[in-house]
Amino acid sequence: MTETIHVACEGQFQLAEGVQYDDATGHLWWTNINARELWRLDPSSGEERYWILPQRIGCFALTQRHDVVLLALEGGLAQFNTTTGTLKRMATVEPHILETRTNDGRCDRAGNLVFGTQNERGRNALGSWYRFDVHGRLQKLDLPQIAIPNSLCFSPDGSTMYWCDSRLHVLMQSSYDADTGHISNTRLFADPGNARIHPDGSCVDAEGYLWNAEWYGQRVVRYRPDGSVDRVIPLPVSQPSCVAFGGPALNILYISTAREDLGAAAIAAEPLAGSILAVPMGDVRGLPENRWLGAV
């Protein structure tokens, strides 16, 4: 089967990441990390808007208010009101480690934000996974330290947390208790089998299959719950960064991409690098994006 790939936003972003769909408003959100931008698109009208923040955004979460987004900025968490442009600081993250910043994250099925920190100055595993719960408490999760946290998402019942350290080229899974943040039974989920490929952002569909954007892999892969490959979507770009289901029926796969570190020849060969792509998936449907359920 050959999927039809559309361009939702031809943004030429250096590092578009963390794409999410708000099923309540129909808006598509993502970050342009290095430019410190938060973007919003109305796919039905094509209307775009973006905000420039004081720090880079590693990840973010929708909240119970359509005009408030929880941001994981470089040094901590803050609520951002898109109507007033105001920031409300919530928590500081790793102020004692100068080499790290926040990176990938998503909310669990109980409305807590889980995110990781990454080492920006080398390949050593200096980062950690954290949970910012609905009561505003920050908790370090009992997982190995990481260099580049990615692929954070949860099974439909919330009991399995998927994640990776992109530096290690494999996808992992852990048993997860959303009430306490307790982690157990960490094990391999899937191995793409190519040391050049860096697993990046992921999401889980309504059937419990995991979709992963493969940085340098030029494709998105759908994995069965047992970790075997179900299908592959080839892409016209080498650096897909994250995936999310959206649209009124949640059957459009949105893919954020990047043109970071691509030279002129590479960009000429893949002019859609840095765009937000959209792939209609027919009868495959996603799940509504989990929101942070803390007070806003």
Q: If you write DSSP's letter for every residue of 54-120 in order, what string do you get?
A: SS-EEEEEE-SSTTEEEEEETTEEEEEETTT--EEEEEE--TT-TTEEEEEEEE-TTS-EEEEEEES
Task: Judge whether 1 lies within some domain.
Answer: no
Per the annotation, binding residues are 17, 101, 103, 150, 200
pLDDT at 1: 65
User: Is the confidence at residue 194, as pLDDT, over 90?
Assistant: yes
- Give the CA dihedral 263, 266, 270, 271, nearest 10 degrees: 40
Residue with tokens 């979460």: 61
What is d(CA 197, CA 192) in angstroms, rounded to the nearest whole number? 7
The number of domains in the chain is 1
Q: What average pLDDT does range 141-167 have in this prediction? A: 98
Q: What average pLDDT does range 14-34 have in this prediction? A: 98
User: Is the confidence at residue 147, as pLDDT, over 70?
Assistant: yes
User: Is the confidence at residue 53, as pLDDT, over 90?
Assistant: yes
Closest CA relative to residue 107, chosen from 53, 70, 58, 145: 70
State which amino acid sits at residue 142.
Answer: D
Determine whether 200 is an active site residue: yes
Task: Judge whether 184 lies within some domain.
Answer: yes
pLDDT at 142: 98
Per the annotation, binding residues for a divalent metal cation are 17, 150, 200
Q: What average pLDDT does range 219-236 have in this prediction? A: 98
Q: What average pLDDT does range 268-296 have in this prediction? A: 98
Q: Indicate which CATH number applies to the domain containing 249.
A: 2.120.10.30
Q: What pTM was estimated for this model as a whole? A: 0.98
Task: Judge whether 77 lies within some domain.
Answer: yes
User: Is the confidence at residue 245, as pLDDT, over 70?
Assistant: yes
- Complete DSSP assignment for the chain: -----EEEE----SBEEEEEEETTTTEEEEEEGGGTEEEEEETTTTEEEEEE-SS-EEEEEE-SSTTEEEEEETTEEEEEETTT--EEEEEE--TT-TTEEEEEEEE-TTS-EEEEEEESSSSS--B-EEEE-TTS-EEE-SS--BSSEEEEEE-TTS-EEEEEEGGG--EEEEEE-TTT--EEEEEEEE--S-TT-EEEEEEEBTTS-EEEEEETTTEEEEE-TTS-EEEEEE-S-S-EEEEEEESTTS-EEEEEEB-TT--HHHHHH-TTTTPEEEEE-TT--B-PPPPP-S--
Task: Judge whether 294 lies within some domain.
Answer: no
Region of residue 12 (left: phi > 0; alpha: psi -120 to 50; beta: else): left
pLDDT at 11: 87
Closest CA relative to residue 132, chosen from 172, 76, 75: 76
Task: Judge whether 211 lies within some domain.
Answer: yes
Task: Judge whether 47 lies within some domain.
Answer: yes
**Active-site option among 104, 133, 165, 200:** 200
pLDDT at 122: 86
Name the residue range of residue 272's domain: 6-280
pLDDT at 2: 80
Task: Judge whether 73 lies within some domain.
Answer: yes
Per-residue model confidence as pLDDT tens digits over 162-181: 999 999 999 999 999 999 99
Task: Judge whether 287 lies within some domain.
Answer: no
Per the annotation, binding residues for substrate are 101, 103
